[in-house]
Structure 1
Amino acid sequence: MTSTQELLEAVNRVKKSINTAKEDEKNAALEAMAEQLLAHTQVILQANQKDMAASKGKISEVMLDRLFLDEERIAAMAKGIRDVASLPDPIGEILEETSLPNGLQVLKKRVALGVVGIIYESRPNVTSDAAALALKSGNAVVLRSGKEAYQTAAAIVAALKMGLAQTNISPDCLQLISDTSRESSYAMMKAKGYLDLLIPRGGAGLIQAVVENAIVPVIETGTGIVHVYVDQAANQDMALSIIRNAKTSRPSVCNAMEVCLVHEAIAEEFLPRLQETLVTERKHLGLSPVELRLDAEASRLIKGQVAKETDFDTEFSDYILAVKLVSSLEEAVCHIESHSTHHSDAIITEDSQAAAYFTEQVDSAAVYVNASTRFTDGGEFGLGCEMGISTQKLHARGPMGLKEMTTYKYIVAGNGQVRE
């Protein structure tokens, strides 16, 4: 087994082949990668079946769904690579151009970061998404998958490297670490001089470990304690439709709703409808009902489990929803600002002044008015796919697409000027 350090050294030896590649070379590489991904569908599915079998009984059904691949999902991964290829190349963009009084010409030019590391858990599509975004933005990439998804990730990377081997870009610009122990993660966190950026994608524990221990630059992503506030001026039919989508379409993803705040003025009418939508109707349809965890006021109006204080600070990633009544828009915003992870939060209201107040006061990467939080996604935002959802403010925020995977440098041209 090749060590993590050996892979880091290998990728740095060849990084210039992607850092300086032309747009047509990168696009050709992405197309070849997509073709090989599709050509190796059955090999990837066989590897995924092994991961699924090994994980059953060890992770939840919701997390198993994140791990699962079929032909349709692999086709979507290939489409994601091609979508990235179709996007404009950000590298080489002139951000600013200045002529100084002394005659110096100063260009601020967008360039690749260099080598990017990604530590992620059990979502196989992250493997192809990360590779596509990194390579199109001119970066070499080192991937470290969770052990539950390793065999699937290895099969995907093998196919992608076969695509790269057909191009001018070295296949070694894409690396997958074979060691899935904690030691490999810590090796990446300490890889100063080898990684220019490290991005963790996964649960709160993984992200916290990377943020606390890394000595290389890190972008914090992913953890989503996502709120939907149903205002007293809400269209209740719209609110129920949005909540159904935000909570149940894919509860394991970071843009899924975890907390519902309801204005007390409409609670007596709205909460029974919420329970009917998320619990009763889903039972009748043979679907997993949502477990409602209710604060004291909500518990007086509908049946459900009594919420603990920690339930309002938990990313459930499951069919569980914490519900709290609030007396005002201001209280809703105060609760969100105290408990949110600043990922995605929404208000449902017909009151334009309430919407304006909410969008001004809630300090999250994505703030919604009358729409599902499930749209916080690179593909939905027109970025092709994403490297993650940044919940910090430097150097990227929200869905990270191609431009967020770049930096810049100054190019200064003169004709003999010296500083006095």
Structure 2
Amino acid sequence: MDYQSLLTDCIRDIKPSGIRRFFDIAAEMDDVISLSIGEPDFKTPWHVRQEGIHSLEKGHTHYTSNSGLVSLREGISGYLNRRFGLSYRPKDEILVTVGGSEAIDLCIRSVISSGDEVLIPEPSFVCYEPITRLAGGTPVIIETKAENQFRLTPQELKGKITPKTKLLILPYPNNPTGAILRREDLEGIAQVLRGTNILVLSDEIYGELTYNQNGHTSIAQIDGMLERTVLVSGFSKTYAMTGWRLGYLCGPAPLVAAMTKLHQYAIMSAPTTAQYAAIEAIRNGDEDIVHMRDEYNMRRRLLVDGLNRLGLSCFEPQGAFYCFPSVQSTGLTSEEFCEQLLYTQHVAVVPGTAFGDCGEGFVRVSYCYSTNHLIEALHRIERFIEEHKGRASHA
């Protein structure tokens, strides 16, 4: 059979994730330090795992409601109010999903159709643009800049809005740059959006991993923005629950109802065991958040200081668990740097171009790994830079 002829043009044209390419190469090699995947090296806290085990022992192995367990939605509502001062009704403004990724997909596919434009600040996570294209929409890229620490500015936003603009994706704290938006940044963005019919998809999966003294601010906290924002988050990063595949979205009831219809037909309900574990995490996991965030903060300072010492200029990221250093001083492209570093020193990082063309000249380095791994990786990167300088001087 001609399988290619069976595929849609859109799915044929979409490129595989640039993150996974280097991860897959590294998986086939020995003695590799992989700083390429954004997965916490912490195990899910024991009290959370234990609750998942107990749910199985109690026979909680059936479907839940499409929206998720009522007790979990109540827990999410209480958590968002307690941590960020946000108010969502558990009954009709919260939907439990299979990871934050499903929540993003539900939001985009529920509101975007052919001809609609979606504003996507880049560099940013790899899924927004492909999902937009699969929905028939047109991605409109807003290139953020290193001199602004990769923050989206109101001026950049305003310059990209057209009568076809329907959705703004706000991916902060940002993967891959570690950038955050401060309250004053969000107020400026809100001012641009007021008076329009543009919806905001605010991906706040890294919201708890914010290192400045003021903590995370959601755009839904800004006056007039709650009613035009779909907030997406989950348990993967906050509670080291990546494999449990559990996320959620919150927003205006009419939008959540529409997204629930798509969720009903595509998924049915999120994993039951994971939901029971998540109830325990969200009720009794605040100390776990503090412990992991403090550890990431220490690793962040270690890595940023080390990369700057090696001449790989890196602004201080204030969120998530990634650094985004410039490799332009080496004279190599992002792809060349990553390939040569992997093959010669067995250190895997991700080229900035995996997160948009404006990521050229940068690489993403994850610090959700042990201190020993980070120190050894810095030694190997230093050796790579010295050897590269030596080769360049003899060329």
- For the pair shown, the structure with the greater C-alpha radius of gyration is 1
TM-score normalised according to structure 2 size:
0.29
TM-score normalised according to structure 1 size:
0.27
Higher RCO, 1 vs 2 (CA within 8 Å, ≥6 residues apart) = 2
